[in-house]
């Protein structure tokens, strides 16, 4: 399960103790305590991975759906980039009216599920 935190929800006082399995995996091999003490809001942390699929499960289609549903995101604020080519989500649907958003999101989901060509 992916946990989403709204921006600014981790207060500085609790940030030094906040840890989740997702965070630990995300920044491995850097210990979480080191991350909070040395990097959080101080400097970038760059971790090079030899495995291109290491982060593949970080944000699932269900996670994207949850974010879109809870945030009430404006389609004009969402970017879809496939192989370096950007397509605004608002341009994915040819329909208008009350179903346009649903149609655009269905097309977005289809693009997300397309198999990657290696």
Please check the confidence at residue 12 and state whether its pLDDT lies above 60: no
Q: For a pLDDT cut of 70, what percent of the chain falls above it?
A: 68
pLDDT tens-place string over residues 49-102:
999 888 887 777 788 777 777 877 777 777 777 778 887 776 776 666 666 666
In the predicted model, what is the mean pLDDT of the chain?
Answer: 73
Confidence band of 7 (pLDDT split at 50, 70, 90): very low
pTM of the model: 0.45
pLDDT at 86: 83
Please check the confidence at residue 21 and state whether its pLDDT lies above 70: yes
pLDDT at 17: 53
DSSP the chain: ------TT-S-HHHHTT---HHHHHHHTTS-HHHIIIIITTTS------S-TTTTTTSS-HHHHHHHHHHHT--GGG-EEEETTEEEEGGGT----STTHHHHHHHHHHHHHHSPPP-
């Amino acid at each position: 399960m992916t946990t989403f935190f709204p921006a600014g929800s981790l207060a500085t006082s609790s940030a030094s103790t906040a840890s989740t399995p997702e965070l630990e995996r995300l920044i491995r091999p850097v210990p979480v305590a080191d991350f909070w003490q040395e990097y959080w809001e101080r400097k970038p942390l760059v971790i090079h991975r030899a495995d291109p699929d290491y982060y593949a499960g970080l944000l699932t289609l269900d996670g994207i759906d949850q974010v879109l549903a809870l945030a009430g995101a404006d389609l004009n604020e969402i970017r879809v980039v496939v192989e370096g080519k950007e397509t605004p989500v608002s341009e994915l649907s040819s329909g208008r009216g009350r179903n346009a958003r649903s149609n655009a999101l269905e097309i977005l989901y289809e693009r997300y599920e397309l198999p990657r060509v290696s």
